[in-house]
């Protein structure tokens, strides 16, 4: 079985003190770095995504002055700003592919993004022969959920590693994990 690690949106704007801070985000970054130090060699590819929104647009309604925090949000992860950078507690050396998503449009799943040279996440995984993936990152109830569901839809066996995720809210995060389990993901600690 060829396995990938999918690291979702471990960015400054989603960790403590960010524009859309998720409690526990810095701890997730630290745990992922420690996990990579011990287990990077277990994966054929390690793909990390980042929101990378346009500065001069509402990004297809994704940004709003009065966001509903479901379909619209405050300004966050603007391309080239510190908020869009990886959290400094995430050590990126082992990451093999960096995916940017949400360029001018709403995007939650890393499967909606592409590398700098235009490769989609699906193409990266297919080229590496990936049949299973571990999913970690932020936020459980939004982009982790969407990424894991898309991986399942692409025929990939998914494990969500619960000790390396953080969600916006306990109820919506629990609902997302239940939905992922129902869709066939294994919900487990690393």
Q: Which CATH architecture has domain 3-52+85-188?
A: 3-Layer(aba) Sandwich (3.40)
pLDDT digit string, tens, across residues 55-113: 999 999 999 999 999 889 999 999 999 999 999 999 999 999 999 999 999 999 999 99
Neighbouring-strand partners of residue 7: 48, 136
Q: What is the pTM of this model?
A: 0.97
What are the sequence ranges of the domains in the chain?
Answer: 3-52+85-188
Residue 96, Cβ neighbours under 10 Å: how many? 16
Statement: residue 40 has pLDDT above 80 = yes
Catalytic residues: 9, 101, 143
Cα-to-chain-centroid distance, residue 38: 21
Structure letter (DSSP) for residue 175: H
Q: What is the 3-state secondary structure of 55-81?
A: CCCCCCCCECCCCCCCCCECCCCECCC
What is the spatial distance between Cα 165 and Cα 190, in angstroms, rounded to a whole number? 11
For residue 1, what pLDDT is reported? 73
């Amino acid at each position: 079985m060829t396995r990938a690690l999918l690291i979702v949106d471990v960015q400054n704007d989603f960790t403590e003190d960010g524009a859309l801070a998720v409690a526990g985000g810095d701890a997730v970054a630290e745990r992922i770095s420690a996990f990579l130090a011990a287990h990077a060699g277990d994966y054929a590819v390690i793909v990390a995504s980042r929101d990378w929104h346009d500065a001069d647009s509402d990004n297809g309604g994704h940004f709003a002055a009065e966001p509903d925090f479901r379909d619209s949000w405050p300004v966050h992860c603007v391309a080239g700003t510190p908020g869009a950078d990886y959290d400094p507690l995430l050590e990126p050396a082992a990451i093999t592919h960096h995916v940017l998503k949400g360029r001018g449009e709403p995007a939650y799943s890393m499967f909606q993004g592409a590398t700098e040279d235009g490769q989609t996440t699906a193409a990266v995984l297919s080229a590496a022969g990936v049949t299973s993936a571990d999913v970690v990152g932020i936020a459980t109830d939004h982009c982790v959920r969407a990424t894991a569901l898309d991986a399942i839809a692409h025929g990939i066996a998914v494990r969500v590693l619960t000790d390396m995720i953080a969600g916006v809210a306990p109820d919506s995060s629990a609902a997302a994990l239940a939905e992922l389990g129902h869709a066939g993901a294994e919900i487990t600690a690393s």
